[in-house]
Structure 1
Amino acid sequence: MRLLALLALLPVLLTPAAASARVHLLSATPAAGSIVAAGPLAVSLHFDSALDPVRSRMMLTGPSGAPTLMMVPPPTDDHAISTTAPVTPGAYHLHWQVWDRDGRMAEGDLPFSVAP
């Protein structure tokens, strides 16, 4: 009976890991922990999978503590999302959530600071 159970699980155990892989962030501007200048800030996130731009989001929380959902225009690169935001001196937290075209979701956080 145990042998039958093991044989039944064998296809699951031999399935390639890539089939269940998540979307991975390859690079970000600004980088986590970076210090940037005040003014218009270009935010750009690049991933290892083609994204579903309709379901992908970025939320920026600044010194006031109020989160702001950022408008993300249609991408020119299907592996990236980007936008711009006005920033003033202080600590910021960028939360992102993306979905790839296969329906896999990933999310993360990027803290950064704006110099006085």
Structure 2
Amino acid sequence: MGKIRLKNIRVHSNHGCLKEEMLIGSDYRVDLEVFVNLSEPSTSDKLSDTVDYVHLNNIVKEEMAIRSNLLEHVAKRILDRIFSELSAVENAEIEVAKINPPIGGDVQSVAVILKAERPR
């Protein structure tokens, strides 16, 4: 078993429950880990034998572009697409963080972390 990790994917999107968030948007950071059997690609050296991190990054960017009220919702959508489109992924963990959230204080970020296994 191995792990493919995408760290600090930065996007601007309009998630949130406040009207200002819906209109102006905020900056977000996404960290993603997928657990995959990497024994074959580690010897074959073929992209077709592994999970392409470009595909993972595209899923994150496309789902982050769809407005949601809650970070929990967008994180679950990303995980659902990963399991739907990438059969080699057994487990995944995602962290979606809103940078400088409008919560009335000096807070660097708020984040939601979801872990999931491939549905059986």
Q: TM-score range by the shorter chain?
A: 0.3 to 0.5
Q: Bigger radius of gyration, 1 or 2?
A: 1
**TM-score (normalised: structure 2):** 0.38
What is the TM-score normalised by the length of structure 1?
0.39
Question: Which protein has the bigger strand share?
Answer: 1
Question: Which structure has greater helix proportion?
Answer: 2
